[in-house]
Amino acid sequence: MHKDITEILDKIDPQKIADLTLELVKIPSPTGHELEAARFYASQLEKIGLEVRLDHVEANRPNVIATLRGKGGGKNLILAGHLDTIPQEKCVPPRSEQGRVYGRGACDMKGSLAAMVETARALAASKAQLRGDVILIGWVGHEAPTGRGLGPKAVAKSIREGEIKAAGAVITEGPLDSVGIAQGGMAIFTITTSSPKGTVHTATVPLRSNPILWIAEAVREILAFDEELNSKPWNPLIPQRPSAQLGIVSGGDFYNRLPAECRLTGTVRWDPGESVHIVENRLRNRLDKLENRLWHSLDGDVRFKLEMDLVRESYEIPDDSEMVKSTQAAIREVTGKDVGVSGWRGVGDPPILNDAGVPTVFYGPIDFANVTAHSDNEWISIESLATVSGVYTALAYRYCA
């Protein structure tokens, strides 16, 4: 390892990362209520001398954008993650003990945000001679179902308009043992059916005219759609298969009254190489054929309305791209290990920046054997946070130099 980077890495303090993670976890920031956490995060970045601004994407919902300036002539690097969390629910209260930080957001993903700050502090304190800028971003609006990528989409818009310039990016949420380069797409679908007969007494109509029966047939169609998705070869980088799933069935208000409307809500997940429009058209085609069958077998009033709400598109970047190779080299420099590439089925933000023209990978402190995100016992390892902070530091030093 080069002497200069060794001296910078020696400045990384795991206790500082743990303390900042805990302070961030103590500030509730469920999606839509990120303001206090954003202001606190900005203050920590200002303390270490970065140029910091709050970019309000909605009232009281700012992205935090901080820049460690290089002297010019080099590549700019983005390190980014989300400030919001799912609701507190019954999660364990914030605490730090036995090498872990506990509480809502510790794993997903305030620990990573703290690791980013320590990276910037180590680089600034060492007066590292960087040519390119290191841009740290904490954004809002990630967590579904209310989050639809509002924060990262605002960043992507700034990139397209030339306000933010970067050659590569790392989303600091991801696996510790590989570099993430692929993600499946995900959307929420809602199928609605209703009867023109209205809410009449069920004794006055045959069962075949009941929207509950029609929506039951739609459930069967979703099963067939899921089996179709499963019949295709999976993306080799993503361990889980493409799928359709069901979450909510609703309809009816009284045991002997015809429901005015029935709704079926679920999710569909697809592989890189496909898009929400392709998947929506396939599902809509299935429902059109089902409608036609039911007109003949059940009732001529059967109609299905399909709505698709995109959560994230799919993406994949080449495993030999500069961003991937640079991240792998940084991991090797810090840990001594050669790591491969991977993908995941979860909802992440890399596709948004990648679509804006910035090659993006995801790499973070998550051990997929012990994923605690969204659980009631959420925690993150301080050791893993220190490791990824070192990797981000080594990457910034090499990539921006």
How do residues 141-180 score in pLDDT, each as one tens digit? Answer: 999 888 889 999 999 999 999 999 999 999 999 999 999 9
pLDDT above 70: percentage of residues in the chain: 99
Q: Match 């993006």 to its residue by tokens.
A: 360
Contact in structure between 238 and 345 (CB atoms under 8 Å): yes
Both tokens of residue 318? 């080449």
pLDDT of residue 2: 58
CATH number given to 185-312: 3.30.70.360
φ/ψ of residue 234, rounded to 5: -75, 155
Checking if the pLDDT of 119 tops 90, the result is yes
CATH number given to 3-183+315-399: 3.40.630.10
Cα 33 to Cα 212: distance, rounded to the nearest angstrom: 38
The answer for residues whose C-beta is within 8 angstroms of residue 23's C-beta and 6 or more apart is 40
pLDDT of residue 369: 82
Q: Is 324 helix (H, G, I), strand (E, B) or coil?
A: helix
Cα 4 to Cα 115: distance, rounded to the nearest angstrom: 20
The secondary structure element, H or E, covering residue 10 is none
Checking if the pLDDT of 3 tops 80, the result is no
- Show me where the domains of the chain are located: 3-183+315-399, 185-312
pLDDT above 90: percentage of residues in the chain: 94
Cα 50 to Cα 383: distance, rounded to the nearest angstrom: 25
The pTM for the full model equals 0.94
Cα 267 to Cα 47: distance, rounded to the nearest angstrom: 43
The answer for residues whose C-beta is within 8 angstroms of residue 16's C-beta and 6 or more apart is 118, 121
Both tokens of residue 184? 């499946």
How do residues 188-207 score in pLDDT, each as one tens digit? Answer: 999 999 999 999 999 999 99
- Partnered with residue 138 across adjacent β-strands are 64, 81
Contact in structure between 107 and 173 (CB atoms under 8 Å): no
pLDDT of residue 370: 85
Neighbours of 264 (CB within 10 A): 23
Cα 114 to Cα 41: distance, rounded to the nearest angstrom: 9
